[in-house]
């Protein structure tokens, strides 16, 4: 279903607003997989001040983030990145998302 441009723009802004609000309630920092057991990795947030926090210990703040970025988001996100790659000039936000993903994806 194709929406009129104005409705599509409002949809994009609403999603961006909600994502930013969710990020504001989530454990901050650079999340990295680690831990002692390869079969049970832990996600550790490396905080801007140099400290760390196990993300699992902050479930109240991180559960919504994890659920929002479930595997269901991968298809539309990958499609957006591919579409953005075909538009000239390639936009800064799309490049920033790609860089952030490539720094974290195996």
Render the chain in DSSP notation, one character per residue: -PPPHHHHHHHHHHHHHHHHHHHHHS--SEEEEE-S-TTS-EEEEE-TTS-EEEGGGGHHHHHHHHHHTSGGGHHHHHHHHHHHHTSSSPPHHHHHHHHHHHHH--
Write down the mean pLDDT value for the chain.
Answer: 85
Asked whether residue 36 carries a pLDDT value surpassing 80, the answer given is no
Q: Answer with the residue of higher pLDDT: 59 or 87.
A: 87
Whether residue 96 has pLDDT greater than 80: yes
pLDDT for res 3: 65
């Amino acid at each position: 279903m194709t929406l009129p441009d104005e409705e599509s723009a409002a949809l994009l802004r609403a999603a961006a607003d909600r994502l930013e609000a969710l990020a504001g309630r989530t454990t901050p920092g650079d999340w990295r997989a680690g831990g002692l057991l390869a079969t049970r990795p832990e996600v550790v947030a490396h905080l801007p001040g140099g400290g760390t926090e196990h993300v699992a210990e902050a479930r109240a703040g991180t559960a919504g983030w994890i659920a929002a970025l479930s595997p269901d988001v991968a298809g539309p996100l990958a499609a957006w990145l591919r579409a953005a790659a075909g538009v000239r000039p390639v936009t800064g936000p799309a490049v920033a998302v790609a860089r952030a993903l490539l720094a974290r994806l195996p």
